[in-house]
Structure 1
């Protein structure tokens, strides 16, 4: 049985870190519209806490400017929804990824470059052109860097190694 967004919101109040609340990581217009309960299990909340801690490092590196999370945790049902089109093994379903913006700092490309030049231990960083995707894996920090490639319709068709 699907729960309402209000039920999800009650379960996801609370801070993970100084600047990031669990509610920011689970908010989803698609989940709200489709009645999908995007409440993470406890083991995922632990991963989200690590991701939030990583984003605190990013925020500090970007001059303490506010970060807006555009996509965080996605339960498997939400991740596989046609409006989302997430990969089956997406780190978003594990609580290890966040898509975000920091408009007060600069464009997604400028943000990705600043993070890449830092000593922040991330696993994967992608300049998606409209946002930045970052993954903080619990066991590895490979420092992988990619740039999204688009077709003429503006759809991602591939990822190129390195930042463009």
Structure 2
């Protein structure tokens, strides 16, 4: 377990990695980042009424990140970001709004594809110097818009 409610398995699990036979094991050197990220997720879980969070994407190995055409600078590749959903709390938009209104320290929060049923929230954490940057990205649009839209 990386924290009381989040396991290494769910943090590294990827259907795409399995399908492409990509090793998505977390390097030992990044374990402390993963632990910090999951400790922050515990705070988010509490803010969202202690409802279960679903990690749709956590750690991404460089090979997996390339395969999904992720940003080369993605915090997923340093175990400092996750994509989450919390269906028992509400939509991705309602999750994003609740987190922005909270005092949780995050570096970047992106509401992703909010008009689609499978929308999610990307959230990243640094150990200090968090920017609390809030963005929205719509499916099929390369633009990131400031705030929760």
Whole-Å separation in 2 of the counterparts to 1:22 and 1:138: 19
Q: 1:136 aligned to 2:122?
A: no
1:158 aligns with 2:147: no
Match of 1:45 in 2: 31
Aligned to 1:89: 73
1:124 aligns with one of 82, 102, 108:
108
1:49 to partner: Cα distance: 0.5
**1:42-66: CA deviation from partner (whole Å, max 9, x where unpaired):** 1211101111011000000001000
Cα distance per residue 1:106-158 (max 9 Å; x no partner): 000000000000000000011112000000012321110001134xxxx2411
Deviant stretches of 4+, over 6 Å: none
Name the SS for the 2:55 alignment partner.
Answer: strand
Aligned residue in 2 for 1:149: 138
What is residue 5 of structure 1 aligned with on the other side? Answer: none
Q: Look at both structures and tell me which one has the larger radius of gyration over its CA atoms.
A: 1
Q: 2:60 aligns with which of 74, 78, 84?
A: 74
CA distance in 2, matches of 1:44, 1:140: 19
Give the paired residue count.
144
TM-score normalised to the size of structure 2?
A: 0.94
Query: CA offsets per residue over residues 9-42 of structure 1, 9 Å max, x none?
Result: xxxxxx0000000111110011101111101111
The question of 1:28 aligning with 2:14 is answered yes
Structure 2: gaps of 5 or more residues: none
Greater RCO (CA < 8 Å, at least 6 residues apart): 2
TM-score of the pair, normalised by structure 1: 0.85
The residue number in structure 1 matching 2:99 is 115
